[in-house]
Amino acid sequence: MNYLTRQLLNAEEINFIGKELEHENQGWEDGKKTAGSHASIVKNNLQLKRTSDISKKLSSLVKQKILNDDLIKSFTLPKNIHGIMFTKSSKGMKYGRHIDNAFMSSGRADLSFTIFLSEKSQYEGGELLIENLTLENKFKLNCGEILIYPSTYLHSVQEVLNGERIVCVGWIESYIKSIEEREYLFDLDAGARGLLAKHGRSDELDIIFKSYSNLLRVLGD
């Protein structure tokens, strides 16, 4: 499973973030400022300055929510959650086909994430398009939902035709670089937790958890 979608923010948190961003008028800047040399050519959006107090406060909230979610932690095995920023796209704006930089000043990008902060009904277009070897997948999630996907995939944001699209994006440096190895560990952890919930603790389950932990030691960095 290469993608994970999940409701990350509750209604109170969505409302809080929305009001904070709504009251911030001076902190938005051209998104090209943080794009790589290739991506900057196709990037057309606004982003909240990472150095602003509001950006720091909201980024801390998002990071804590990710770290408090057991399913997300199992899927990503996060070593470093970094580069968090809030972006805004109005009518005519889009982000063309690109790939995220492997290394940023804040860390390595193994996984990318997008948290949708606008209701679907508030804008037309603006779908996140992710390409793998054989498929193109379009995502336009409910407000407060997060999408996590490998940073190795080409992706784009389609043109916003009407309204305003606001999202939070960021990257995760995982203890496990390999997509396949992360998937194996995620399946093993999910299976073990499922058995624990269904049947309770057992000697056999202890062996599975031991193997999971030791594989993590061998594969991790």
Chain segment 51-105, per-residue pLDDT in tens: 999 999 999 999 999 999 999 999 999 999 999 999 999 999 999 999 999 999 9
Q: Tell me, what's the pLDDT at 181?
A: 97
Q: Locate the DSSP E strands across 126-188.
A: 128-131, 136-139, 145-150, 154-157, 160-174
Q: 36 pLDDT exceeds 70?
A: no
Other Cβ atoms closer than 10 A to 169: 20
Residues 6+ apart with CB under 8 A from 82: 104, 106, 107, 170, 171, 172, 173
Is the distance from CB of 68 to CB of 3 less than 8 angstroms? no
* Mean of pLDDT values over 124-132: 95
198 by DSSP, 3-state: which?
helix
Return the percentage of the chain with pLDDT > 70, whole number: 97
- The reply to whether 114 and 212 lie within a common domain is no
- The reply to whether 167 and 202 lie within a common domain is no
- The reply to whether 165 and 152 lie within a common domain is yes
Q: 164 pLDDT exceeds 70?
A: yes
Residue type, 56: K
Domain residue limits at 186: 179-219
Give the number of domains in the chain: 2
Residue type, 55: S
Stated pTM of the model: 0.94
**Least reliable range by pLDDT among 12-16, 39-43, 129-133, 184-188:** 39-43
Return the percentage of the chain with pLDDT > 90, whole number: 88
Tokens of 6: 């999940």
Q: Tell me, what's the pLDDT at 23?
A: 84
Q: What are residue 142's phi and psi, to 5 degrees?
A: -70, 160
- The reply to whether 84 and 150 lie within a common domain is yes
- The reply to whether 87 and 187 lie within a common domain is no
